[in-house]
Amino acid sequence: MRWRGRQGSSNIEDRRGVRFGRAGGIGIGTIVLALIAIYFGQDPSVVLQGVQPSAPTSQEGPYEETPEEAQSREFVSVVLADTEETWGQIFSQAGRTYEQPKLVLFSGAVESACGFAEAAVGPFYCPGDHKVYIDLSFYQELQNRFGAPGDFAQAYVVAHEIGHHVQTLLGISERNMAARQQAGEAEANALSVRQELQADCFAGIWAHNADRSRQLLEQGDIEEGLNAAAAIGDDRLQKQARGYIAPESFTHGSSEQRVRWFKRGYETGSVQACDTFGTNQL
């Protein structure tokens, strides 16, 4: 990606100097559930709501970032700024104003409006405070555990979470949450898949605009994004973790579905083309 030298976003909130005591927070069982259910962007309140942890103790001090972390911080700031430009234009064309979210950097654990979460849950978006949360160490896991290296794969993470923010602004998240609460487990999972695939499609819309309007992408970038989408498909993750696949428990979609919807957003650049809730064929 041609990101160096570009303007970063002012909507970065750095909480990496905040440390939480072990007495607070949520239990390991909840962390595991969150890891399975919200890895890569599902609304963490689905798992964390109703959990009443003891108040975590915290202390704040200076954070000494490594040169690699400084580069990652600058990178996500540039990507965030580019998503702001993309969605600002799209909302403006629709006669609406885009509310820019904050992106919170944390290390180890963080407190959000959706509850207390440890880095094990991965990057997430919290609709309660309109903020994206990410521990930059996740990018090492993305490369080493999921086999999805490259700066565009990292940008896809941010763009996917911003996709959840767009869903919140459009009222999609609220409607889907209400429908899930009235549904059985299998149907609720299916609705979750549709929401996640739409966020992938919205990430593709950002890539469409970043490529065609601002020439941010380089050769091979889209392939990195498609590889990242495939790497975190439910079928691949379940096969790695359990040795078998249970489609009825999917919450994010298969590798093939995630790739297809990202490509749809990238090829069309159209919000209307990302209507995962209005199609029978995902």
Q: Where are the domains of the chain?
A: 12-278
Of the given ranges (17-26, 33-42, 206-215), which has the lowest mean pLDDT? 33-42
pTM of the model: 0.85
In this predicted structure, the answer to whether residue 155 has a pLDDT above a threshold of 50 is yes
DSSP assignment of the chain equals: ---TTSPPPS-EEE-TTEEE-TTSS--HHHHHHHHHHHTTS--THHHHTT--PPPPPEEE------HHHHHHHHHHHHHHHHHHHHHHHHHHHTT----PPEEEE-SSEEEETTEEEEGGG-SEEETTTTEEEE-TTHHHHHHHTT---SHHHHHHHHHHHHHHHHHHHTTHHHHHHHHHHTS-HHHHHHHHHHHHHHHHHHHHHHHHHHHHTT----TTHHHHHHHHHHHT-HHHHHHHHHSS--GGG-SS--HHHHHHHHHHHHHH--SGGG-GGG-S--
pLDDT class of 263 with cuts at 50, 70, 90: very high
Whether the predicted pLDDT of 55 surpasses 70:
no
Residue 165 vs residue 116, higher pLDDT: 165
CB 123 within 8 A of CB 41: yes
Residue 37 has pLDDT above 60, yes or no: no
* The dihedral formed by the CA atoms of 109, 122, 53 and 32, expressed in degrees to the nearest 10: -130
Q: Which residues of 177-210 are buried (b: 16+ CB within 10 A; e: fewer)?
A: beebeeeeeeebbbbbbbbbbbbbbbbbbbbbbb
Instruction: Report pLDDT for 56.
Output: 61
Residue 127 to residue 101: CA distance in whole angstroms? 10
Average pLDDT over residues 183-187: 92
Q: For residue 17, is pLDDT > 90?
A: no
When mean pLDDT is compared across 22-26, 109-113, 130-134, the lowest value belongs to: 22-26
Q: 61: pLDDT confidence band, cut at 50, 70 and 90? A: low
